[in-house]
Structure 1
Amino acid sequence: MSDILAINGGRPVRDKYLPYGQHWIDEEDIEAVADVLKSDYLTTGPKARELEEKIAEYVGAKYAVVVASGTAALHAACFAAGIKEGDEVITTPITFAASANCVLYQGGIPVFADIDPKTYNIDTNQIEKKITKKTKAIIPVDFTGQAVDLDGILQIAEYYNLIVIEDAAHAIGTEYKGKKIGAISHMTEFSLHPVKHITTGEGGIITTNNGEYQKKLSLFRTHGITRDKELLTNKKEGSWYYEQIELGYNYRITDIQCALGISQLKKIDSFIKKRREIAETYNRYLSQIDGIIIPYQEPYSNSSWHLYIIQIELEKFKAGRKEIFEALKAENIGVNVHYIPVYYHPYYQKLGYKKGLCPNAEKLYERIITLPLFPKMNNKDIEDVVKAIEKVLGYYRK
């Protein structure tokens, strides 16, 4: 391996690009989808109901409602929680924009609370400082897969009569104090996007123990239309009759996708085991490299590790995060950054949000890099990532 950085014309650590995330589809998954294509149902049908039952069982919740995407799941949860125009909802800025956009969809106002600089999750103490008479809900995010301080957040929610919508898009399979998340918060959202732990291609799911929320979520994904006689205003018509009783959306998911999800769910434990092993290996190697801060994990959380994020102690290097990032990419390592603080985006700036709102989040953003992490990675892949980091940081070290 050449000591000259690939970005400067040297030979890269890897010949083939290693992405930061990748799905794993096998023949069993393909056969499951093919079986549905040969069946009588293609759109939402028996496979959707089966996936709901299996996810609910997996996380220990009474109910699950599967929808078209993780974003749709968050939007549906905000609807079920009764978020309306002028309501404030507290969330973290270090997340994908959907965690805040779902509040805007309902006419609400996202309020950003700063993060804990150790865990990168929303700081429970900062949540309470942001509560006003307009606050209706909290959307904490299990960032990278590490569970938030659920007991602390739920205690605040109970005191102020707030609803907790846990954004667990990164965290299916994560355990909080020995119990899988998904039945702890009032509602929990999971993503089934291809880079997540299991996939339906695109998809999302909300779990809850509240039957009223389950009814509202199911209604919302089908235009607000129902055939349920208990909900109909006109109960005299025939079995063909239906009514739109809310303004919902077409957030249905297909049985084709759900068949894939059911097949994937059979392998979730092995996928998570592999993710944890990769994270442990990264920790072992990277903790020996000066200038890197590896992820801190609270003892109450057993993460399912969607992302592995390092902090670069930039004061120890002659280059900024941008130069280090681009140099790693040139070595064919598919690094990424998760995330740009939500309120940095031009749309949020137009709404009046200003930089400086969450100092810990803003400082973190300047220093983080996401490394590849997915079950298909082998030991050589992990070694290549470490070699590339050593090569690049060695070149730029002061």
Structure 2
Amino acid sequence: CGPLFGVSRRMRFDLPAHRYVLEALAKGSGPDEMAAEIAKMGILPVSFVAEAIADTAISADNSSGNLTTPRQLQPDKDLPPSEISLASLSNHRILQTLQELTAELTRNRWRPDDPAYHNRLMWKQLRGVAAREGGEPVAPRFIPLARPCLDETEEQAVLETIRSGWMTSGPHISAFERQFSETVRSQGAVALISCTAAIHASLVHAGIKPGDTVATTPITWASTGNTLYQMGVKPWFVDIEPHTLNLDPVRLEEALKAGAKAVIPVHMAGHPCRIGEIRALADRYGVPVIEDAAHALGAFYKGVPIGAQGTYVCFSFYAIKNITTIEGGMIATDRQEVAAELKKMAANGMSATAWDRYGRSAVPGPAVVTGPGFKYAMGNVSAAMGVCQLKKLAQFQQKRREVASRYLEKLSGVDEIILPREEPYARSAWHLFIIRLRLDRLQVGRDQFCDDLRHENVGTGIHFYGMHLHPWFREQFGDWRDRLPEATAASEEVLSLPLWPGITDRQVEAVVDAIKKVAAYRRRIKG
């Protein structure tokens, strides 16, 4: 767009509009014809024009420096609405600047092929330099680790629910529970305020008491440790498989022999653990299994959905999970009587919810407390959103698999990282795409590598820093580092890459390029 706003000694002839003028001049077009064509270009978002210029400047297709006709620009609907109306500019002004530019070019004042007049060559050079060293970031805008995928469907459902007056108890809760149960093929499902609440309620229902020990993986979210601590229960940490980051069943029996009263395995990153072997061991010792399936909605173990089998399978609907209710959780169970008992427990142990007590079908008489309970029931607004999200699960999962496949393909040649893989028994939900850094091949640790990626405008996550390594948990539960070599090593090496159903192909390519760029920048020199 430079020719429209004046002529300068610092013209850049790799910019689309400048190249257009050069092409037009070479074909014998005069300023009048150029002005008429430019006026037809219409309206483009300013930020899109800037990004398109940047793309053109660093395009490998133009590395020869040859002048080509600018590509047709298509504004990105997600970009800000700031606009330049080319057609609204004064024809006189367009003509005046084009006449001046044409005259200067005709007099050979500038040599358009001289590198001094091309940002492209400089940008290409800067793109290869680490951003933290003053180079150009790989991504023009920050790419987050994840984002929720919502549209007007959820907005309308939430608005209608709020306007109905039934924001806590209400009809959407039972509908969500029923549809979720159908999705994972369970016998029942109970909607709660979080996966943490689901795990806590399951532990209480299973009879876990203060002073008990529970076997679990150290590679999990802090809420599990906090829940156990608040219950007066001690964890027995079981080391992990290095390739799946899941609890290793081979090492579980030691905990069961030592008297663990329950097992909490995690389907890490959405990849199912060897749950069949874990259940068999637990059954032999007569202890319950409480599955942490926070990442695993949409995952399958030996062809069976996670949630179809097991007494307690706990899911999460946090903002960036595979579906979201903003905050929320669900317990899926293969026993209908357990679902009924958990539903009462989540409603303060009462025999009826507010919807049961005050709705049109309410029966007279007080609701009574029939057992211990908590205020854990999901609200009607969250459930309304969940119903909408559940309908999109299949397309969400398809996109997650596509993105994971693209990462696996394009990062396969990077020697400094170890890629995740699906085991033959599993179909991952790909909630996370976790790589492991080969620190022996890098000059820096994981945290510095993450910081380098942030300089390239790529967000990352750490899933997870082992529970046994957190200072406070170590004070409460003891020092397990020597007994957990795999979990300790993984805690310093794991790195989650951006992944959500709405991530674009272009963003995935930028993440791949950033990984390769930082790996090359931080590569340990052999010898």
TM-score w.r.t. the length of structure 1 is 0.94
Distance, in Å, in 1 between the alignment partners of 2:202 and 2:190 is: 10
**1:168-187 alignment, distance < 5 Å:** 168-187=293-312
Matched-pair contact (CA < 8 Å) for 2:225–2:473: no
Distance, in Å, in 1 between the alignment partners of 2:291 and 2:461 is: 24
Distance, in Å, in 2 between the alignment partners of 1:124 and 1:262 is: 35
The superposition leaves residues 215-264 of structure 1 with CA deviations (integer Å, 9 ceiling, x where unpaired) of 33212212222249xxxxxxxxx942233343422112211111000001
Gap change, CA 1:359 and 1:75, over 3 Å in 2: same
**1:208-223 alignment, distance < 5 Å:** 208-223=333-348
For 1:172, the aligned partner's letter is: L
Distance, in Å, in 2 between the alignment partners of 1:75 and 1:106 is: 9
1:362 counterpart residue number: 488
Deviation at 1:53, TM superposition (A): 0.3
The superposition leaves residues 371-398 of structure 1 with CA deviations (integer Å, 9 ceiling, x where unpaired) of 0000111110010001101111111112
Matched-pair contact (CA < 8 Å) for 1:99–1:167: no
3-state SS of paired residue (1:43) = coil
User: Is the counterpart of residue 331 in structure 1 residue 465 in structure 2?
Assistant: no
Deviation at 1:38, TM superposition (A): 2.1
TM-score w.r.t. the length of structure 2 is 0.72
Distance, in Å, in 1 between the alignment partners of 2:464 and 2:331 is: 23
1:102 counterpart residue number: 227
Task: Identify the range of structure 1 (34-43 vs 11-20) with the bigger mean alpha-carbon deviation.
Answer: 34-43
Matched-pair contact (CA < 8 Å) for 1:75–1:105: no
Distance, in Å, in 2 between the alignment partners of 1:123 and 1:144 is: 15
Deviation at 1:191, TM superposition (A): 0.2
Distance, in Å, in 2 between the alignment partners of 1:132 and 1:315 is: 37
Q: Which of the numbers 195, 203, 214 marks the counterpart of 2:320?
A: 195
User: Is the counterpart of residue 264 in structure 1 residue 360 in structure 2?
Assistant: no
The superposition leaves residues 191-233 of structure 1 with CA deviations (integer Å, 9 ceiling, x where unpaired) of 00111011001000000022332233212212222249xxxxx
Distance, in Å, in 2 between the alignment partners of 1:116 and 1:24 is: 32
Matched-pair contact (CA < 8 Å) for 2:192–2:346: yes
3-state SS of paired residue (2:290) = strand
Deviation at 1:34, TM superposition (A): 1.5
3-state SS of paired residue (1:226) = coil
Structure 1 unmatched ranges of 5 or more: 229-237
Matched-pair contact (CA < 8 Å) for 1:146–1:174: yes
2:131 counterpart residue number: 6
Matched-pair contact (CA < 8 Å) for 2:235–2:477: no
Matched-pair contact (CA < 8 Å) for 1:83–1:107: no
**1:302-317 alignment, distance < 5 Å:** 302-317=427-442
Q: Which of the numbers 368, 392, 396 marks the counterpart of 2:518?
A: 392
Who wins on radius of gyration, i.e. which is larger? 2
Gap change, CA 1:161 and 1:79, over 3 Å in 2: same
1:250 counterpart residue number: 375
Matched-pair contact (CA < 8 Å) for 2:239–2:251: yes
**1:123-162 alignment, distance < 5 Å:** 123-132=248-257, 134-162=259-287
Matched-pair contact (CA < 8 Å) for 1:145–1:170: yes
2:172 counterpart residue number: 47
Task: Identify the range of structure 1 (218-227 vs 87-96) with the bigger mean alpha-carbon deviation.
Answer: 218-227
For 1:379, the aligned partner's letter is: D
User: Is the counterpart of residue 78 in structure 1 residue 203 in structure 2?
Assistant: yes
Task: Identify the range of structure 1 (249-258 vs 16-25) with the bigger mean alpha-carbon deviation.
Answer: 249-258
For 2:512, the aligned partner's letter is: V
Distance, in Å, in 2 between the alignment partners of 1:212 and 1:104 is: 28
User: Is the counterpart of residue 241 in structure 1 residue 348 in structure 2?
Assistant: no
Deviation at 1:68, TM superposition (A): 0.5
Q: What percentage of residue pairs aligned between the two structures are identical?
A: 37
Which is helix-richer, 1 or 2?
2
For 1:297, the aligned partner's letter is: E
Matched-pair contact (CA < 8 Å) for 2:211–2:232: yes
2:497 counterpart residue number: 371
The superposition leaves residues 332-385 of structure 1 with CA deviations (integer Å, 9 ceiling, x where unpaired) of 101111111012222212214213231100011111111000011111001000
Distance, in Å, in 1 between the alignment partners of 2:202 and 2:272 is: 19
Distance, in Å, in 1 between the alignment partners of 2:182 and 2:452 is: 45
2:410 counterpart residue number: 285
1:231 counterpart residue number: none
For 2:373, the aligned partner's letter is: G
Distance, in Å, in 2 between the alignment partners of 1:348 and 1:245 is: 35
**1:54-65 alignment, distance < 5 Å:** 54-65=179-190
3-state SS of paired residue (1:252) = coil
2:88 counterpart residue number: none
Distance, in Å, in 1 between the alignment partners of 2:420 and 2:472 is: 30
Distance, in Å, in 1 between the alignment partners of 2:258 and 2:514 is: 51
Gap change, CA 1:101 and 1:132, over 3 Å in 2: farther
**1:16-27 alignment, distance < 5 Å:** 16-27=141-152
Paired residues, number: 389
Gap change, CA 1:145 and 1:59, over 3 Å in 2: same
**1:115-130 alignment, distance < 5 Å:** 115-130=240-255
Distance, in Å, in 1 between the alignment partners of 2:240 and 2:331 is: 24
**Structure 1 moving runs of 4+ over 4 Å:** none
3-state SS of paired residue (1:244) = coil
Distance, in Å, in 2 between the alignment partners of 1:209 and 1:393 is: 46
For 1:112, the aligned partner's letter is: F
3-state SS of paired residue (2:315) = strand
Distance, in Å, in 1 between the alignment partners of 2:307 and 2:514 is: 37
Distance, in Å, in 2 between the alignment partners of 1:299 and 1:48 is: 36
Deviation at 1:100, TM superposition (A): 3.3
Distance, in Å, in 2 between the alignment partners of 1:86 and 1:19 is: 42
Structure 2 unmatched ranges of 5 or more: 1-123, 354-362
Task: Identify the range of structure 1 (303-312 vs 101-110) with the bigger mean alpha-carbon deviation.
Answer: 101-110
